[in-house]
């Protein structure tokens, strides 16, 4: 997971949104308990680490490597893992009848005669660790090498996300033809795409009943300037009842807000919310005990651009030129069991970045202004951003102020050798 790219011409609107309800119990890093149990928080909260498919493609080529790291994960204090089993390339790291097996990524090749997901589940059960399977919901291609489902199968022609470059309706570029994006993504507003994605989720949940949960990543539009294909414009017109005479009705030729932009934002968010609602219904019909999780950036004020309104439907944003009166209806917190709050800020404490929403402390103190208790929330932090002291502090804040912890991701923890710092942060809250 990476920070998302927003349409720069619209960034000033995100700044305005980000100032909403920025209330915290800011202690500026002072008087933080350094010994276990002093916070008074409930012990044994979920503490998860993310296992990214791409970053660890070769690292976990053998069962012995998985066993070794699972024991390290347990010793550190983690009791959950998020296992990436269908990454953005679109191939499967599980026994699939729908997707090809992932055996090659770039220059790396890994072949297994055993079920990757099943073995993680076996080791997790032995060590009393829960597993949440994760997929890149819209990602189906690796743009750098042009690998993946959407390059293999012509059925996806015309069903990918399309960028309008430089606000120019005559400069439309298929995401498949780019090389600088994380994943080539399908168009979420198309019924056939939603059906396909749900079929993959149905397969995983059915075949692996020992999963604690299922998590959605990249369940969104790629960016604010993506989603301008003819098919999307037609779907928007059907949704809104408006006629698009030119794509500059949505975003002006100078990058500003067009006459239809606020309805466009509502449409994009409702598209993602309807998909999540359908996924939740399918999962619960198969196994009511399986949790639905979703990761998204903690910066709610920028999520309109990619269609991720992770707030409660009871949250009404401050009046602005971006949000329609019905935008709150696109909130999807009530469809989740767990929202994984991506507090991916370089600053841990508010005092390090005063006047900005961008700190772990601010994010973990303000999320409930938006979710309003509709779902549980895990504070999620990027291990690559911090030294050991900052890592311990960030873990502490997530553990203290949210329902659980998710650390992204194991390769960064390994590279920075931050195991002890994570353990210390956990122990500052829990005995």
C-alpha 344, offset from chain centre: 11
Residue whose structure tokens are 């929330």: 377
What is the pLDDT, as a whole number, of residue 314? 98
Is a pLDDT exceeding 80 seen at residue 276?
A: yes
Distant-in-sequence, close-in-space partners of 399: CB < 8 Å, separation ≥ 6? 39, 41, 45, 47, 379, 405, 425, 426, 428, 429, 430
Helix axes 230-240, 261-286, angle to 10 degrees: 90
The answer on pLDDT for 166 being more than 80 is yes
Q: What average pLDDT does range 245-256 have in this prediction? A: 98
Q: Distance between CA 100 and CA 89 in Å, rounded? A: 11
Rounded distance, CA 149 to CA 241, Å?
34
Number of independent structural domains in the chain: 1
Q: Which tokens go with 283?
A: 């999962």
Establish if 138 belongs to a structural domain.
Answer: yes
Q: Under 8 Å CB-to-CB from 428, ≥6 apart: which residues?
A: 32, 33, 34, 35, 36, 38, 39, 392, 395, 396, 399
Question: How does the average pLDDT of the chain come out, rounded?
Answer: 92
pLDDT at 280 over 70: yes
Domain boundaries, position 197 = 8-427
As a whole number of Å, the end-to-end CA separation of the chain is 31
Q: Specify the pLDDT at position 321.
A: 81
Please check whether residue 285 is in contact with residue 205, taking contact to mean a CB–CB distance below 8 angstroms: no
Asked, for residue 114, whether it belongs to a domain, the answer is yes
pLDDT of residue 43: 60
In a domain, 1, yes or no: no
Q: Which two tokens stand for residue 347?
A: 């600053």
Q: What is the pLDDT of residue 25?
A: 42
Instruction: Give me 219's structure tokens.
Output: 């369940």
Residue 225: is its pLDDT beyond 90?
yes
Q: What is the CATH number of the domain that holds 115?
A: 3.20.20.80
- Assigned domain for 3 exists: no
Q: pLDDT, tens digit, for every residue of 62-94? A: 999 999 999 999 999 999 999 999 999 999 999
Please work out, in degrees rounded to the nearest 5, the angle formed at the alpha carbon of residue 50 by the alpha carbons of 186 and 335: 60
Rounded Cα distance between 307 and 268, Å, is 5
Cis peptide bond N-terminal to 164, omega within 30: no
pLDDT digits (tens, 9 = 90+) for 20-63: 444 344 444 444 444 444 444 446 899 999 999 999 999 999 99
Does the pLDDT at position 4 exceed 70? no
Write the pLDDT tens digit of every residue in 297-328.
999 999 999 999 999 999 999 878 899 999 99
The confidence score (pLDDT) of residue 9 equals 37
* Rg of the chain over all Cα atoms, to the nearest angstrom: 21
Q: Is the pLDDT of residue 226 over 80?
A: yes
Answer whether residue 61 is part of any domain.
yes
Is residue 2, in this structure, part of any structural domain at all? no
pLDDT (tens digit, 9 = 90+) per residue, 125-161?
Answer: 999 999 999 999 999 999 999 999 999 999 999 999 9
Give residue 333's pLDDT band: very low, low, confident or very high (50, 70, 90): very high
The whole-number pLDDT of residue 171 equals 98
pTM for the model stands at: 0.91
């Amino acid at each position: 997971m990476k920070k998302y790219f927003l349409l720069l011409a619209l960034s000033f609107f995100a700044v305005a949104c980000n100032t909403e309800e920025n209330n915290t119990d800011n202690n500026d890093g002072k008087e933080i308990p350094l010994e276990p149990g002093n916070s008074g928080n409930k012990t044994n909260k979920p503490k998860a680490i993310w296992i990214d498919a791409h970053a660890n493609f070769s690292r976990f080529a053998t069962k012995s490597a998985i066993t070794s790291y699972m024991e390290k994960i347990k010793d550190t204090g983690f009791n959950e893992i998020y296992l990436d089993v269908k990454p953005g390339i679109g191939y499967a790291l599980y026994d699939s009848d729908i997707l090809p097996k992932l055996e090659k990524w770039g220059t790396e090749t890994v072949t297994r005669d055993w079920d990757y997901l099943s073995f993680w589940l076996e080791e997790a059960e032995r060590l009393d660790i829960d597993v949440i399977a994760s997929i890149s919901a819209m990602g189906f291609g690796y743009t750098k090498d042009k690998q993946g489902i959407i390059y293999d199968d012509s059925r996806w022609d015309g069903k990918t996300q399309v960028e309008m470059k430089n606000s120019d309706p005559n400069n439309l570029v298929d995401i498949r033809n780019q090389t600088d994006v994380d994943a080539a993504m399908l168009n979420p507003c198309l019924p056939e795409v939603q059906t396909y994605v749900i079929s993959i989720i149905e397969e995983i949940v059915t075949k692996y009943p020992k999963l604690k949960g299922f998590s959605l990543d990249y369940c969104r539009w790629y960016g604010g300037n993506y989603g301008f294909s003819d098919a999307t414009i037609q779907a928007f017109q059907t949704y809104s009842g408006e006629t698009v005479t030119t794509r500059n009705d949505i975003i002006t030729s100078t990058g500003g807000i067009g006459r239809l932009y606020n309805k466009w934002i509502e449409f994009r968010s409702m598209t993602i919310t309807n998909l999540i609602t359908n996924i939740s219904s399918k999962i619960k019909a198969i196994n009511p005990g399986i949790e639905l999780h979703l990761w998204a950036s903690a910066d709610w004020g920028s999520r309109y651009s990619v269609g991720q309104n992770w707030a409660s439907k009871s949250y009404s944003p401050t009046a602005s030129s971006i949000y329609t009166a019905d935008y709150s209806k696109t909130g999807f917190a009530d469809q989740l069991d767990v929202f994984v709050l991506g507090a991916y800020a370089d600053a841990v404490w508010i005092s390090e970045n005063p006047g900005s929403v961008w700190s772990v402390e601010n994010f973990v103190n303000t999320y409930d202004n938006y979710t309003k208790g509709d779902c549980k929330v895990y504070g999620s932090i990027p291990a690559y951003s911090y030294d050991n002291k900052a890592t311990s502090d960030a873990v502490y804040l997530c553990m203290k102020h949210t329902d659980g912890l998710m650390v992204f991701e194991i390769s960064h923890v390994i590279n920075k050798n931050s195991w002890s710092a994570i353990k210390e942060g956990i122990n500052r809250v829990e005995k």
